Amino acid sequence: MTENTPLIIPELVALDADAGPGKEDVIEFLAATVAGAGRASSPDGLAADAKKRESTAPTGIPGGIAIPHCRSSHVLAPSLGFARLAQPVDFGAADGRDADLIFMIAAPDGADDFHLQLLAKLARGLMQTDFTDALRQAADAEEIARIVTGQVQPELLDDGGDTEESQAGAAESAEDSKTAASSAPAAGETVIVGVSSCPTGIAHTFMAAEALEQAGKDRGITVAIEGQGSGKIDALDPDLIERATAVIFAHDLPVKGRERFAGKPVIDVGVKAAVNDAGSLVDKALAAADDPSAARVPAGSESSEESEEGSEHWARRLQRSVMTGVSYMIPFVAAGGLLIALGFLLAGYDVANLYEKMSISDYSLWNLPGSEFVHEIKNSAGDVVATETISVSQSGLLLYIGWSLFLLGKAAMTFLVPALAGYISFGLAGRPGIAPGFVMGVVAVEVGAGFIGGLVGGILAGYFAAWLAGLNVPSWLRGLMPVVIIPLGTTLVVGALMYMVLGLPLASLMTALQNGLTSMSEGGSAVLLGIILGLMMCFDLGGPVNKAAYLFGTAGLSAASATNTAPYEIMATVMATGMVPPLAMSAATFLRSRLFTKAEIENGRSAWLLGLSFISEGAIPFAAADPLRVIPATMAGGAVTGAMTMAMHVGSRAPHGGVFVAFAITNFGGFLLAILVGTAVSTALVILLKGLGRNKDGKDAAEAQPAAAAA
């Protein structure tokens, strides 16, 4: 598609349409319209992607408008599908009004900047009453196409054509909105600047910007908003930022370049707040500009792109930061654990006896090791007092390569706790918190506090660094805060606290936990532990509870040994139970396809592979669409699998990989049996529960009452 190809044509327009009673019906109708115009390869695929985006947040906006939108691999060219509904439908707008004007913004996965800018113009236009009034009054599809083209691509209109007055007004308004942010305000005029962003970066990003800028015009001031959407970002003029008396952040994603606004009064909200009531936000910003005690953008937030402060509740912020730490830690665990497992595969499990006793630097590809090694035991003076002969089952090239992989894996695993602590601190304080957070992780390991010490140390470092960043320091000192003052002060204070006060208690707690874990993994308590882990892994499918169980399993791998195999059994239980939900959903869609939507059946065709790979998130589309039936069913199957895995003493030396790391799993037959039984339980239950929810016409109750489901 070239720059001269219109985003909307009459074939993409449906007037006074009866698309169905619910928003999912409307989305499917518009997806079929886009595909029918040759702009999408699969109407079902496009509808599934749009409904997935809709499930994250409603796309209804005040004024009877809805903008379902998505990026999709099924879209062949950037397009705008439009429906003016005969019967308005609830899209979850803040004013409670059902929507009669529906735009489906369909962008390909690789949409370029030019087309994303056109979609941004449309989003801005939807905030203008002249534009929406013209859409409601248009007589035919051709007129709708002209009006919308006049908003987003006015250069494509025929100069000699009969353009409607409303269309010209819309195009003029679009040009005004395009230049509003860049025009220089008069001397002495009040200036407010800000940033807007939404998850997809297409619609709400620019609607929020337009609403805020229009609210500024209504109050006789300049409001300039930088839309951080998909594609190229038109950055605010630094001189304009310098003149600004206050800042508005209306965002669902981290603000890029937050440091540009350091020290200015800030109003920090989600993007929908700006779309729904921009005027009150501008009023709050004006009030904050005159309030010395108003919240300000921290001086230490230079790269706090992962930090969302302001109005966020402290508990939510803490949870998000811990999840950030876990997310950044997982690659270290996965890489280290799989390398160790490969080392065992090539060199045998007794290669662990060589760790810290023999130096691999004594060997090379031209000087390969044998199967016996002599280890010298020395006293404090360095004298050899005894020797120990170490024998291994492998020798030569396989031993050398396996030994090397084992050492690489061990090296990666040493970063487990430091990475956890470092990125928790990063989540709370931004980049200035990384260095002290990593140091607290190392301290936690040295004092024997393990991952519990890493959690506590990372949280303390993050909060202390964030407090330092929030101090109102002189301008000459601001440049030193993020690179010197914050890391140094945080490391000094929190590090001393960890060593001198918290270290021993946390180490004692960690030791008690490990001892309790070892005892619980034996006998009847092992089955109970397996049930608990299974319920946690299947509760939120990649959410905080799932990640907590996974962290519990992976953190123990570093403490496992030939005499302590309990961590391996716990890891196997965590992995097996996490595989059950996607496998069960795939089986259920195959056995009883009539109980599922077309999109769910499509997801079921790939969920089995995600399940075999231990990717629990493969079941999320099913749980999001029907949580009251899917989640209890998957939890029941996970509990059964967990109990069986622990009872049969299945162990896994790999932290990830599912059936594809069979070489690292002991009692692999028991591993498969436990997964099959748990999958069967979940499959049967989800089919039963969904069957009970069908009415006598064979339709799901949620589908029969879409408005209630949407609410």
Q: Which of 493, 498, 446 is nearest to 465 (CA)?
A: 493
Average pLDDT over residues 468-493: 82
**519 or 371, which is more confident:** 371
Task: Note the pLDDT of residue 89.
Answer: 92
Tell me, what's the pLDDT at 304? 42
Residue 167 — very low, low, confident or very high, per pLDDT cuts 50/70/90?
very low
Ordered by where they begin, the domains of the chain are: 10-154 (3.40.930.10), 191-297 (3.40.50.2300), 316-363+397-501 (no CATH), 524-698 (no CATH)
The contacts found for 290-294 with CB under 8 angstroms, 24 or more apart, are 291/265, 294/265, 294/266
Partners of residue 227 on adjacent β-strands:
196
Indicate whether 172 pLDDT > 60: no
User: pLDDT digit string (tens) for 475-486?
Assistant: 677 667 877 888
Structure token pair of residue 491? 């490391």
Judging by DSSP bridges, how do beta strands 65-66 and 69-72 pair with one another? unpaired
Amino acid at 173: S
- The more confidently predicted of residues 582 and 233 is 582
Residue 181 has pLDDT above 50, yes or no: no
Alpha-carbon gap, residue 605 to 586, rounded angstroms = 6
Catalytic, 198? Answer yes
Query: What is the pLDDT at residue 182?
Result: 43
Three-class SS state of 112: coil
- Residues whose CB is less than 8 angstroms from the CB of residue 14 and which lie 6 or more positions away in sequence, other chains included: 29, 30, 33, 82, 83, 84, 141
Residue pair 643/538 in contact (Cβ under 8 Å)? The answer is no
Average confidence (pLDDT) over 260-283: 87
Question: For the chain, what percent of residues have pLDDT higher than 70?
Answer: 82
| pLDDT for the residue numbered 171 | 42
Highest mean pLDDT pick, 429-438, 470-479, 666-675: 666-675
> Which pTM does this prediction carry?
0.49
65 has which bridge partners? 61, 101
**Angle formed at CA 254 by CA 249 and CA 259, multiple of 5 degrees:** 70
Between 112 and 33, the more confident residue is: 33
Active site residue 538: no
Of 300-309, 313-322, 413-422, 521-530, the one with minimum mean pLDDT is 300-309
Q: In angstroms, rounded to a whole number, what is the distance separating the alpha carbons of residues 284 and 36?
A: 47
Residues 540/542/544/549 CA torsion (nearest 10 deg): 90
Q: Is the pLDDT of residue 309 over 60?
A: no
Mean of pLDDT values over 505-527 = 73
Residue bearing the bigger pLDDT, 182 or 292? 292
Collect all residues with Cβ–Cβ distance below 8 Å to 33 and sequence separation of at least 6.
Answer: 11, 12, 14, 81, 83, 104
- In degrees and rounded to multiples of 5, residue 439 shows phi and psi of -60, -40
Instruction: DSSP letter for 349, please.
Output: G
Give CA–CA dist 625/334, Å, rounded: 30
Which residue is it, tokens 């890493």?
454
**Mean predicted confidence (pLDDT) in 201-213:** 77
pLDDT at 306: 41
The pLDDT score that the predictor gives to residue 579 is 92
pLDDT, one tens digit per residue, over 409-464 is 888 888 888 988 998 998 888 788 899 999 999 999 888 887 788 889 999 999 99
Convert 104-141 to b/e letters by CB count within 10 Å (16 or more is b): bbbbbeebeeebbbbbbbbbbbbbbeebbebbeebeeb
Residue among 69, 74, 115, 656 flagged as catalytic: 69
Query: What does 589-658 look like in DSSP terms, one character per residue?
Result: HHH-GGGS-HHHHHHHHHHHHHHHTT-GGGGHHHHHH-HHHHHHHHHHHHHHHHHHHHHTT-EES-SS-G
Alpha carbon distance 670, 13 (integer Å): 57
361-397, pLDDT tens digit by residue? 788 888 888 877 877 777 777 777 777 777 777 788 8
**Do residues 118 and 171 make contact, with C-beta atoms less than 8 angstroms apart?**
no
Which of 443, 437, 453, 568 minimizes the C-alpha distance to 507?
453
Rounded to a whole number, what is the largest CA-CA distance in the chain? 102
Choose among 276, 242, 210, 228: nearest CA to 116: 228
Please tell me which residue, 663 or 638, carries the higher pLDDT value: 638
Which phi and psi angles does 216 have, rounded to 5°? -65, -40
HSE-up of residue 357 (Cα within 13 Å, Cβ side)? 17
- The pLDDT tens digits of the residues spanning 596-648 come to 887 788 878 878 887 888 878 778 778 877 888 899 999 999 999 999 999 89
Q: Which residue has the tokens 């913004």?
A: 105
Confidence of residue 524 (pLDDT cuts 50, 70, 90): low
Please report the pLDDT score of residue 116 as a whole number: 57
Q: Quote the distance between the C-alpha of residue 3 and its chain's center.
A: 33
Rounded Cα distance between 407 and 330, Å, is 19
For residue 31, which of 83, 81, 102 has the smallest C-alpha distance?
Answer: 81
Query: Among residues 70, 115, 198, 204, which one is catalytic?
Result: 198
Over residues 338-362, the pLDDT tens digits come to 787 788 778 876 777 776 677 787 8
Long-range pairs, 284-289, Cβ under 8 A, ≥24: 285/192, 285/194, 285/246, 285/247, 285/248, 286/190, 286/192, 286/219, 286/221, 286/245, 286/246, 288/246, 289/190, 289/192, 289/245, 289/246, 289/265
Cα(286)–Cα(279) distance, integer angstroms? 11
> Across-strand partners of 367?
364
Looking at the predicted structure, is the pLDDT value of residue 582 above 70? Answer: yes
3-state SS, one letter per residue, for 423-434 = HHHHHHHCHHHH
Which amino acid is located at 367 in the chain?
A: N
**Looking at the predicted structure, is the pLDDT value of residue 541 above 60?**
yes
pLDDT at 50 over 80: yes
Q: Mean pLDDT over all residues of the chain?
A: 80
Check residue 682 and give its pLDDT. Answer: 95
Helix and strand totals (H; E) in the chain: 27, 14
